[in-house]
Structure 1
């Protein structure tokens, strides 16, 4: 290939790169604004989740109180016959005491006659009739759960569900809450892959990274404007734990460009992203293209 052809190819590559950078730089403000709106929406959703959780917790407290009241009522209902008997004895004793003053031989402080002495022989029939009227009370272990306890279980399930959603929203807000990295918001909950002919590398930002089925680490942090880290991956034989560094560069789309292993069990991925475009990239785009020797001819 002649020098002119090489120069033309270089010019085409530079033109493509310039177009990609221009597109990324133009899209960056809109992406940042969209992310700010999403953050506000997430904050509102998180507040609504919290209010829902508080309302459900209040319902649970109310239902538990109902359950406790039902249990107490059931316990008292089970003891009702004995209580009734005691009240009956007290009532008979009171009647005897009322008549004691007008009864010859009644002496103050004298022990009252035994209940058996006051009872009519036919009292057994009365007691039997009384026993027949005992209310039927559900006993523990009869397999029938009170309706209130079922409602409590359902409400507690909803609380767990809403708490889980609330935690997810809080984590998402934490990840988007740093304006310095809003440009990378397009990577949130997103996975990008690269097959290098031998392995498939998968990077799920804010989550984990892998080489086929081998973990290269969990999301750690942004270590700089164009640097991120995944750490604590699967142990190499004899150590250390695998980790992945991500080096970003300005580009029109989120894509893994290449992955290497510069040192044992330490991997490095080069990733293009609009979030990596900054003012310097915009200034570079404004510069006139450099001239090649053929332009002088």
Structure 2
């Protein structure tokens, strides 16, 4: 195997899918990645660029009536088809994440208004490459933040309202508690991360059957007085990488850090990306992260 890259060459028969939401005009929706997405089979980078926070519209605002829209273009930029989804509540529906598998199937998930007595639900749709809707699944939970696929094209969607697994045929498999950040390995292992109000970060690891395997809790370095969980990533072997931000009180500067556990929960290492400038201050931010098949980690970001 080789390291994942931002783009990969696709056959001429496989085309790009752009997921959009219709408001007054068409606008592009964010694609979730890494700890906020997890799309090992997608043409997108599955280890960087966490999904942007999506602000919900007014509940049941039929005047705007936003809908899911999926558009397929061929490799010459010619539109092949457009599919629109309006949920049963006839209110606002908007996409939060999407994925494409190696067979050219398209998966979208987002929040869909189910009516005044239901509120927002997860809505997940699978289309084949011709635009045929293969299945639609709805689940109580509010707003899903990410979607992921394992090597068998099982589908994982979720956010803080719960993490759901469907088979490739759309059959419900199991549900896990919601998580602030989560990711899925190609084996179907789900890794979640949560920051507690007591300044600890907790990680939980589940196997592909949804069974709990192990958990770890850690507190960032004691000489930092401010920190936040930024994301969680995995590699081709199912190891876990937790990204978090720290503010160093003694040096009056901040940086991002990365901690690794192997698939069995054994702590491997922890490092921070901190560069002290000539003026005595340093600020470092990770924008993207890549892990190759030899477990070398590459980070890119900015230094101020």
- Name the TM-score class by shorter chain: under 0.3
Bigger helix share: 1
Higher relative contact order (CA 8 A, sep 6+): 1
Larger Rg: 1
Bigger strand share: 2
